[in-house]
C-alpha cells in the first residue's frame, strides 16, 4: 500500500517555469554552469535548470587534469569542486543541494509545508552522506582510474555500503511514490542523478524493484537530457 502525504503540502505536477521574479531573472540569468559531464552532482543542476527553463552557458571543467583546483576556479568555489553556478551578476553558488534549493524554491519541487521541506532536506542529506560517497565514488573510480584505482577492499566496502543505501531507498519507495512524498521534489532529482547510472559503478538494480519503478517515474517527468550530452 502506498502512503499519500498530500497533507504535507507537497505540490502536484511540474513547475512550468522558475518561481524567481522578473527582476531576479534579469539580474541573475543567463548564468554559467561550471561542470564536468560525467558528474551526477553537476547533472542534478543541469536537470533542474532545464526543467525550469532557465538560460545558462555550460563550461566543462576537466577534472581528470585537476582543473577545479586552479586559483581561478578556487576563486569561484574555495572547496575546489564542481558544480558551480555563476550568476550573471558574478555571484557563485556551489554545493549541488544548495544550488538546487536556490533554483527550485517556490516551485512544486520544494514543498511549501515545514514537514515537507524537512523531508526533502533529510533525503538530500542522505544522498550526500550515504549514497553519493558510495555509488558515485565507485562509479567515478571505475570510469576514471586516473582518480585512483580501487583496492579490492575499497571496492567491496563501497559495493556493500552502496547496496545498503539502495535498500533504504527501496524500503521508502515501497510505501510512497517519491522520496519525500507523493510528488516529485528536488530530493528525487538529487537521488536520481547517480542512481540512474549506478550500473556503471557495478551496482545491479534488478533486486530493487521499487527503485527501478521510481527511476522510470522520475525520468518521465524530466527533460530529455542524458547525463553524457552537453546541454545545448
Answer for the pair 211, 195: CB distance below 8 angstroms, yes or no: yes
Give the shortest CB-194-to-ligand GSH separation in angstroms: 9
Residue with cell 586559483: 71
Nearer to ligand GSH, 83 or 116 (CB): 83
Nearer to ligand GSH, 9 or 133 (CB): 133
Which residues, in sequence order, are bridge partners of residue 34? 59, 84
Element (H, E) at 121: helix 114-126
| Interatomic CA distance for residues 63 and 179, integer angstroms | 31
Backbone angles phi, psi at 138, to 5 degrees: -65, -40
Strands of 84-86's sheet in order across: 56-60, 31-35, 84-86, 92-94
Give the shortest CB-95-to-ligand GSH separation in angstroms: 5
Nearer to ligand GSH, 26 or 79 (CB): 79
Nearer to ligand GSH, 82 or 187 (CB): 82
Nearer to ligand GSH, 96 or 185 (CB): 96
Backbone angles phi, psi at 76, to 5 degrees: -85, -35
| Interatomic CA distance for residues 8 and 27, integer angstroms | 33
Nearer to ligand GSH, 95 or 105 (CB): 95
Nearer to ligand GSH, 63 or 169 (CB): 63
180: nearest Cα among 28, 8, 2: 8
Give the shortest CB-117-to-ligand GSH separation in angstroms: 19
Give the shortest CB-39-to-ligand GSH separation in angstroms: 4
Give the shortest CB-173-to-ligand GSH separation in angstroms: 22
Give the shortest CB-67-to-ligand GSH separation in angstroms: 9
| Interatomic CA distance for residues 52 and 106, integer angstroms | 11
Give me the residues that bind ligand GSH (CB under 6 A), please. 36, 39, 41, 63, 68-69, 80-83, 95-97, 128
Q: Which DSSP symbol is given to 113? A: S
11: nearest Cα among 114, 110, 103: 110
Give the shortest CB-231-to-ligand GSH separation in angstroms: 17
Residue with cell 531573472: 25
Amino acid at each position: 500500500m502506498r502512503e499519500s502525504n498530500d497533507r504535507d503540502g507537497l505540490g502536484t505536477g511540474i513547475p512550468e517555469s522558475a518561481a524567481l521574479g522578473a527582476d531576479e531573472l534579469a539580474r541573475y540569468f543567463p548564468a554559467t554552469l561550471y561542470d564536468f559531464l560525467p558528474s551526477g552532482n553537476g547533472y542534478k543542476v543541469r536537470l533542474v535548470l532545464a526543467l525550469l527553463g532557465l538560460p545558462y552557458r555550460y563550461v566543462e571543467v576537466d577534472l581528470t587534469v585537476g582543473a577545479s583546483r586552479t586559483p581561478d576556479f578556487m576563486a569561484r568555489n574555495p572547496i575546489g569542486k564542481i558544480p558551480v553556478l555563476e550568476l550573471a551578476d558574478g555571484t557563485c553558488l556551489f554545493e549541488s543541494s544548495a544550488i538546487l534549493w536556490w533554483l527550485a524554491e517556490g516551485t512544486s519541487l520544494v514543498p511549501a509545508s515545514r514537514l515537507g521541506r524537512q523531508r526533502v532536506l533529510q533525503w538530500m542529506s542522505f544522498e550526500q552522506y550515504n549514497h553519493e560517497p558510495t555509488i558515485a565514488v565507485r562509479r567515478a573510480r571505475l570510469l576514471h582510474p586516473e582518480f585512483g584505482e580501487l583496492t579490492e577492499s575499497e571496492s567491496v566496502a563501497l559495493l556493500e555500503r552502496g547496496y545498503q543505501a539502495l535498500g533504504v531507498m527501496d524500503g521508502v519507495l515501497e510505501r510512497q511514490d517519491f522520496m519525500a512524498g507523493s510528488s516529485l521534489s528536488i530530493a528525487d532529482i538529487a537521488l536520481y542523478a547517480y542512481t540512474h547510472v549506478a550500473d556503471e559503478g557495478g551496482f545491479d538494480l534488478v533486486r530493487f524493484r521499487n527503485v527501478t519503478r521510481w527511476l522510470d517515474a522520475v525520468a518521465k517527468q524530466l527533460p530529455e537530457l542524458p547525463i553524457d550530452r552537453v546541454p545545448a
